[in-house]
Every structure is written in structure tokens, then in C-alpha cells.
Structure 1
């Protein structure tokens, strides 16, 4: 829960971002630099505490002291060497500092960040909630910087909270997100378990939660380091231990473990240049990178369909999953139809939440949450008996600034979901069941089902408020401009790096 102390920490650290922005340091770059420096500071505190000092962090702690003792151009050189050295280390160290670079070129401003803003705080003495919430607030602010492309890794907290409240993870679950971004789903699951079971947790369960029961995979180095730090600040994992965030492409190989809970918002976007080769084979262009996934149902370049197949494959038995998917997963023919047929046959696909637009940082995204369970096989009978569809789209309109999605907006869905008692659900105007036979009778097993229509489409005299329409237009334009700005920024950065290397 956000406290005055949390707000104070965030304000102090965030205000300095405006100073660095004039030097070309983007919001997400600033958060990344904070990640490096906070880790070093915390390692220094833990290695030098009077009671039970962590001797394994002595080497890392010495690097923080080196930065404190160095000034001017020597500081920039020392910092660069620290990042390079730590990036070669195994475990959590390697994940946080992998391919790390110094983006703060002014030694005076770097010194101020180290001494005045970070060293004066005792991060290891702060409560986990305070420092964890402060870092979460920084990540949320970073996600608002659309020009930096940060929003693509951030799922609205209101949505993650509602999904977790429906899935209801327990201390005995193993939880994984194969496209974890900054770790929002993993932390929401952890918070739920602590909130609901803190008095009942035994030492083994606490150890499992902190060191392996919750894990994630992230393709992008910079985002993976944010996730690893986010988890550390919430008490999950150890600075000197193995990382609970694996850096890599989750689709590249079959799962090595089978968690009982999967929560994910796989990346949206156009078709991948990578084709996954499924069990039945399939041809790919020679210039494509091929993945040999014999556990997949069908070969496709659609990465959203591939993530659905991957999650279906990795889910333990019994297991339950909640996955954000774009509309095309629900209606696309060919491979999409095959995936839907297999999913309905082999899994209990029991709930579909239709999400409104305007809640994601990528403009114009139309998405849904698909809930399904994995149970013991019964070849002669499909596992899905009823798919309950909750339509929260047709008459709902949100924006990122003027009308943000809040947890209260999803309360009716969570109540209708009836976690733990889905057999006794009650039908409403928004929430209706469709039998397995009804779903298969639909063209291409199309699950793109609308229950509530926008009144503005049926009545010419009924329109959205002008300010809502204007805001939606503005945000769509900002998102498009942000994409171009991000491309231009990356090209300029690449040019600068080329000039420096020459």
C-alpha cells in the first residue's frame, strides 16, 4: 500500500529524471540506471551490517564504495568498468547487469545521483512494502513514457490484480510468467499469497516462495533486469543467488518445468519473423529462424498463437492459466482455428473476459483474458463444457489520463467469476455461457463473441461525451507519434555509438 514514505522516495528520485532528460536520458533509461545503483547500494548495506553481514556480497559492496570515493571523469570510467565486470557474473548479478551501459555521461550529475539521492537512504532498513512500492511507482511512471517504448512491458495493475484474484494462487503453487516484463503478475501473485496465507505459511513454504516458487522469462535484457530488481525489492530471491528471471526467448525450446499457475500478457504486435515448427512439420522460408517445438499443435508465425500453445504445453497438471490475448487469437482462421479446437478439447476453457480499449499503453489494442485449466486427459470427452463470456467492452470507454481503469471497475467481473465455485455461476446481461457444441458450430470456432453493444452505434442521438472522444483520438495519435519517436531515438543512439566506436 502506498505510504507517505513511499511517495517521498519516489518524488526524490523522480524529480531528478527531469534534470537528466535534458541530457538525453529517457525515462526508462533513468529507471534502469537507478536499478544498477540501488543494487550496489543495497549490496553495500547488507555486506556491512552489524548483525549477520552477507559475506557473499563483499565484492559487490566494494564497488559501491569505489563509486563513492571517485570523482570527475574517473567516476564515469569506474562506473563503466563496474557495469562490465558485474555483467559477466552468474545468477541474479548477471541478469541485472547483463549488457549494462552507463547512460549518464555527465560525471557531476552521476555523482549527485549516487551520493545525494541514493546513498543517503538506507534501503535495506526500509520495509519491503516501502521500497518495493517505491520501485513499482517508478516502473509505472516509466511505463507512462510512451516515447521510450516502456509501456509495452507494463500491464495495468487493476487488471493484474483482478486476474490474480480469480486464479487465487496458494503457497503450494508454482507460478510462472513466460513473458514477464517487469514482473507485475509475479508480484501480484506473491502479494496475494502473503495477504491470504501469511499466518499459515510454514518455513518450507516461505523458502519456496522466496527462492523458486515464483519465476519468469523475459526476452529483453533491460526489462529482465527491472523484473529481477523488482522481485528482490519485494523479498523474492537473493542478490547473491540464482536469478528467478531467465533472460531468453520462452518460445525457443520446450518447457523445462511445469508450473501449476501461469499468468501472462504475451507481447502483442505483428507476425513474428520466426516460425515455430510443430509436430506435424511445416515449411518455413530459409531466411526464417526455425524453432523445433514438437509439443506444439500447429506451425505459425503468429507469436500470440505460439504463446498460447507454449502456455498450454508448460502448464502443470492440475494447472490453471490466465492469459491476455488480442482479438485475432479468438477469430483468426487456419492455425488460429486449430489452436482453439485443440484448446477447447484438451483444456477446460471456462472463462473469457472481453477488455475495453484505452487501458494499455499501446494505442488501439483490443484484448481479452482467457482463463483455462489443465486436467487429466480424457480422450473421448472434451474438457470444455461451457465457456462463460463476460463482455466489459461494448459500452465501456477508458483513457490513460482522464479515465484510467481501476480495480473497482473489474469488481463485478471478479464476483461473477466466482473463484472456487464456478459451477454455480449466475447469468447476467454481461455474463453468459456457451456450450462446447455451440462454440464448435460457430464459423472457424470463432470465440470473438459480443454481448453488450455500444449504445452510440445503435442510436444516432447517443454519442460518447466529446471529451472522451477527443482524448481517445489524442492518445491514439500520441501512441503513433511515440512509435516514430522511439525509432528516431534508437537510430540517433546507434549513430552516436557508431561515432564513439570509430
Structure 2
């Protein structure tokens, strides 16, 4: 069975559960629990005979032999027990809950998972199936899952520019469902879609040691949301990253709280959007509250509650002296004054910020996002100014995308990849959408703003050049959402007034 047929089969069952009020995210979590148990069972059988650390009375064989209320009771016991285990097992089942209240439907789902030999499907099919489910979940805008899912075409283009090398470490301090890790894995294993688009690229040949390093030692992430971390770990595992009986490569911790103890060769990331840093605290009753955070870090250039600026400073601190980063950042990081300007100037001085890709609206699942990809290299702290100039690629002006009718594809980013010139970025040439600005000219701009444009918006001069109505409508929504988000950030920083009796 190919991945598209499998995705459809599994996803069709979700529509049945929707009638019971079970959302896409809840369904995906139940799939994750059951699929992990089934895979653990298959690995425990000949010829593998691996110790999966799943207690016998809570394994797949026990679960699939039951039905009705006995199945429901056993499922609850299994989720509770496995969530207290160590390693990958405990990470997958951490605070797991049964959201399927109808035992008959739970039994059908168990039977559907049991009906496939998942190991024999191959990594591509299993991985594509799960990625497909994650994307469908992200498309459900009401669930909010889209904020943890970066468009894969954009990620693939970023990785095709960075071209990570084997036997080097890759980190993501806010890894969501693991998109950057998967794309980097595909690049290093010769499965990246850019190899098909660019015939000049040589498909890498891996040694045994390189394969082991890629599976067990390359990737290091953080994801503070337990349910998203669970989906990420399962996504990586199905793509042959990590071991069933090993330690999880993604920590469930706020990456910003402490200075990193390990430095990395690459950081690829799309930190969460929204300017204010906050910590969500869940009490024993499941009620949530958010406390605004100001991170006091001795290694930061400045103290701020701005989450984006904190992530930028943290990512710089994660890099080895010659480490490379590619980070998705919102527009405010490029132009904000005050502490934003101070951090930006330090960033340009301490790192070689060499490329900024201005992204169009309509490509993210979260509305109101106006963002950029910033490529930079860390440099030694020697007091020198390391940014000589920045190349800007404008993919925003006169470019129109929507998630449903005209989604961004990797082909849409081929011109940028060519201009980036991954083979030797020091031999670039200017083009209509690709311009170079010297450091001295950028630093002389008001607030050292990097919010640079030079192309004219054709629709402002000629109504015939307006995009189609559906795209225009979405762009208006995106602009309004961006404005609302900015107002919310301002409101969040205002003191709370108290009414007098």
C-alpha cells in the first residue's frame, strides 16, 4: 500500500470520530500511541527480537486481544503505565490520555493499525504517511496546530542552501513537529527533493559510521509543548531518526531558560511567532495560566520580553565559533527600535549576517505572519565587525501564494537557491530580486533597520495587475491579522488598571 492510500485510509476514520467531537490533533495523538505500540511489538518479534522495554501486560498483544469496556480499561492503564517509563517510551506516552470515548471505535482503530505490517512498509511510506497526517492537522486552522508546522517547501529550500555536511550536529531550539530535522536527514541521506530538481548535484554515499551518526547523534532539539514534542519524536522515529529503546533527541524544556551546555555546527529553526515570551503553567486540575517571562541570561546582549529577540540571541549562543544558522524571523526583528536595535547591531558585529530572504504572505498556517529567513555564520569574539554586507532576496513584492489554491512549492524557490549560490556564496551576482547592501549603508539607516525593499508593487500602479480575488482576500486578512497581533503585543505590555470600588 502506498503512502497516499494509507494516509487516506487512516484519515477517513477521523471523519467518523469527528462526529464524537474528537479533533484532528486528538486523533493524531491516538494514532501515535497505537502505532508506536504496534511497531514495538513488531520489533520484539523475530528476526529483530529487540528489547523494547514495553512491559508484557501493557504490550500490543494484550491490547488487541480485548474489546468493549475491557479494551477501554486496558488502554487507559497502558497509557498511564507507559507514560511513567524512561527513555523514548516515556516521552511518547508522557501525560497520554484516551480521547476516544466509544470502545467500538477504539476497537476499529486498533484493528486498522493491527492490519498493517508497519516495518515491511519501509521508511519512506511510514514517514510520508505520518508527515501527511501532520500536514492535514496543520491545515485545521481552528486547532492552532499550524503554528508548529513550517511549510516543507520552505524548509527544503533552506536546507538546499545550507547543505549540511555529514558527521556534524544540527539543532533546533523550537523544533515543532521536526520539519528541519527531516529535511536535513533527507539531504544527508540523498533523499532530498532538490536532488531531483538539480541534476548537477551528486547524491551522497554514506559510510556505515555516517549512517549511525545521522540516526543517533546528528539531531538535537527542544519542544516545550508536550503534545507537539510527542508528534515530533514519532515523526523522527518513523523516518529512522533515533532508536525505539533509546533516549529522545528532543527535550521537553524551554530552551531559553539556560545557556546551552553544548555547541552545534548548524542551527535551523522557525521559533514561535508572537513577540511576548510567556510560560504556560498547568495545575493538577488541568487549568492553564500564562506568566510573562523576562529571561536573565548573562550571555545575552540585552534583556527583553520579546520572544523573537530572545530566540535570536539564544541561537547565536548555541553555535560553534564557525557554526551556521538559518532562522525564520518576523519583520519586527529587522526594524524594531530600542532593545531591538541594540541586539541587531550586536548581531551584525558578532556574526556574519550574509543573506535575508523576504518571504511573501500566505505561506504559513498561522495568519498574519510577515517573515524572513536570515542566514548567518557565527564568528570568533575578537572585537571585529564580521558582517561586511547583506544580500537580500525579495520573494514578497508581486508574489502571491495561498495555502489552498496556490501553495508555495520548492520550484518557486529555485531562483533564490540559484542566487544564493550554495557552492560558493562569495561569488554571487545581483539580479532583479537579489541585491547587495554594504554594512556601512545598513548600519547608517534609521535604527539600523534591515527592512529593505526596492521593487515596486505593480498592483499599486495598475489595477489590472491585482492578484485573483481569493489571493487578494487572503492577503488582506494576513495584513489585518498582522496589525491585530501588533496591537495585542502592545496591550500585553501595558499595566493592568484596577477599578475603584
**So what's the TM-score if we normalise by structure 1?**
0.88
Separation (CA, whole Å) in 1 of partners of 2:109 and 2:39: 15
Alignment correspondent of 1:192: 187
Query: What does the per-residue CA deviation read over 1:384-438, in whole Å, with 9 as the maximum and x for residues that have no partner?
Result: 1010000110111111111111111111000000013111100011111111101
Q: Which residue of 1 aligns with 2:36?
A: 39
Query: Do the aligned residues in 1 keep the contact of 2:361 with 2:370 (CA within 8 Å)?
Result: yes
Cα distance in 1, alignment partners of residues 324 and 170 from structure 2: 10
Judging by fraction of residues, say which structure has more helix: 1
Contact 2:40 2:52 in 1 (8 A): no
1:469 deviates by 1.8
**CA 1:28–1:167: 2 relative to 1, 3 Å:** same
Does 2:274 correspond to 1:269?
yes
CA contact 1:393–1:452 (8 Å) conserved in 2: no
Q: Deviations over 1:272-318 (max 9, x none)?
A: 246xxxxxxxxxxxx75553311111010000000000000111121
Asked if residue 441 in structure 1 is aligned to residue 444 in structure 2, the reply is: yes
Over 3 Å counting, the alpha-carbon distance change for 1:446 and 1:114 in structure 2 is same
CA distance in 2 between partners of 1:436 and 1:471 (Å) = 35
CA distance in 2, matches of 1:302, 1:366: 16
1:311 aligns with 2:315: yes
Match of 2:235 among 226, 230, 234: 230
**1:141 equivalenced with 2:136 (yes/no):** yes
**1:181–1:227: 8 Å Cα contact kept in structure 2?**
yes
Distance 1:219 1:442, change over 3 A: same
The aligned residue for residue 281 of structure 1 is none
CA-based RMSD: 2.1
The aligned counterpart of 1:172 is: 167
Q: Is the 8 A contact 2:93 2:230 kept in 1?
A: yes
Aligned with residue 6 of structure 1, among 3, 7, 19: 3
Q: Which residue of 2 aligns with 1:28?
A: 25
Residue 452 of structure 1 and its aligned partner are, at CA, apart by 2.0
Query: Given that residues 326 and 374 in structure 2 are in contact (C-alpha distance below 8 angstroms), is that contact kept between their aligned partners in structure 1?
Result: yes
Deviations 1:186-238 (A, max 9, x none): 00000000008875322222211111211211010000000000010011111
CA positional deviation for 1:453: 2.8
Which structure 1 segments of 5+ residues have no match? 275-286, 481-502
1:284 corresponds to which residue?
Answer: none
User: Once the 2 structures are TM-superposed, how far is the Cα of residue 57 of structure 1 from its aligned partner?
Assistant: 3.9
Instruction: Tell me, in whole angstroms, the C-alpha distance in 1 between the residues paired with 2:117 and 2:482.
Output: 38
Mapping for residues 47-446 of structure 1, pairs under 5 Å: 47-48=44-45, 50-57=46-53, 59=55, 62-115=58-111, 117-195=112-190, 200-273=205-278, 288-379=292-383, 381-446=384-449
Distance 1:461 1:144 in 2: 31
Report the equivalent of 2:199. none
Counterpart-to-counterpart distance in 1, 2:277 and 2:407? 31
Q: Aligned equivalents of 1:337 and 1:9: distance in 2? A: 50
- Could you report, residue by residue, the CA deviation over 1:35-74 in whole angstroms, capped at 9, with x for unpaired residues? 11100000001101x2131024452685211211222112
Evaluate the alpha carbon distance shift between residue 128 and residue 80 of structure 1 in structure 2; reply closer, same or farther with a 3 A threshold: same
CA–CA distance in 2 between the matches of 1:245 and 1:198? 28
Instruction: Output the CA distance in 1 between the equivalents of 2:235 and 2:72.
Output: 26
Matched residues in 1 for 2:464 and 2:433: separation?
24
Structure-1 separation of matches of 2:459 and 2:52 = 63
Q: Shift of the alpha carbon at 1:5?
A: 0.6
Go from structure 1 to structure 2 and tell me whether the alpha carbon gap of 1:111 and 1:461 turns closer, same or farther (over 3 Å shift).
Answer: closer
Write the distance in 1 (CA, Å) between the matches of 2:41 and 2:165.
34
Structure 2: how far apart are the matches of 1:184 and 1:84? 29
CA distance in 2, matches of 1:438, 1:64: 64
Rounded Cα–Cα distance in structure 2 between residues aligned with 1:290 and 1:471: 34
